[in-house]
Amino acid sequence: MAAAETVLVVGATGNIGVAAVKGALNSGRKVLAIVRNQASADKLVKHVGWPAAEGIAFVEANILSDTGVKGVVDQVRAGKLPAFQHVYSCVGGEYTMTPLTEITTTQLRYNMSASFEANFFAYRDTIPYLLSQSPTPTTWTICTGSQGDTALFPVPAMAQGALFSMCTAASRETAETNVRFNEVYLAFRVEVDEDALQHGVTTASEFAKVYQGILGRGDIKSSRLKVLGTEDIEALKFDKKF
């Protein structure tokens, strides 16, 4: 029997990250989760629950650093961590309505680092490893948000705009390769289950079905999946990025 595939999740303890972990595990795959520290690992285990969490391996790294994800990949190449065939990146910053004129330089730089640079570093430093596995099919998935278009929350909106362009470029660069790059464009609030039930929004467990669906659909490549309402969670809608 072939060994189960593994998904590397960057941003694994956030609302979307928990959904990605659950989607990967529900698909029968294992997870390599990058976490900040043991407390973050414990947090993820709590959200996922047992025995499902037995399918998660953890590695500590600073994903905001330009060497954080690279260091993880180096350990994988050296055989110190499980090999992975899929990547899900969903690093985010503040979700705040601060007006443009009140955004400090420090706040701007932190959020561009957390919401854009961290996802860029994740792509730049994992794609060569996935490409090296050709002709074996692999995937790279990112979650972006509709704030990049609506801009009701300027701080996250600006970073999303930059990610949109990155996703189009990545879709082009991987179109003829063994990597299925896809962008999940999310237009509503998703939270870890216990918080979602309190706030009346979509649970991570429900949103997990989107990633589970992507993993199982080899025809979805170089595309933007539009998750505009809960009806789009299981009936996946997607358009080619170019």
Q: pTM, whole model, 2 decimals?
A: 0.96
Beta-bridged to residue 33, according to DSSP, are: 9, 58
**234-240-242 Cα angle (round to 5):** 160
For residue 168, the model assigns a pLDDT of 97
| Structure confidence at residue 1 as a pLDDT band (50, 70, 90) | low
Domain range summary for the chain, segments of one domain joined by + = 6-240
Q: CA 147, 66, 138, 145: dihedral to nearest 10 degrees?
A: 0
Superfamily of domain 6-240: NAD(P)-binding Rossmann-like Domain (3.40.50.720)
Q: What is the pLDDT of residues 194-224, one digit of tens each?
A: 999 999 999 999 999 999 999 999 999 999 9
For residue 3, the model assigns a pLDDT of 78
Tokens standing for residue 49: 């629950």
Beta-strand pair 30-35/179-186: unpaired
Q: What is the pLDDT of residues 25-41, one digit of tens each?
A: 999 999 999 999 999 99
Token look-up 């959020």 returns 111
Q: What is the pLDDT of residues 112-133, one digit of tens each?
A: 999 999 999 999 999 999 999 9
Q: What is the pLDDT of residues 136-184, one digit of tens each?
A: 999 999 999 999 999 999 999 999 999 999 999 999 999 999 999 999 9
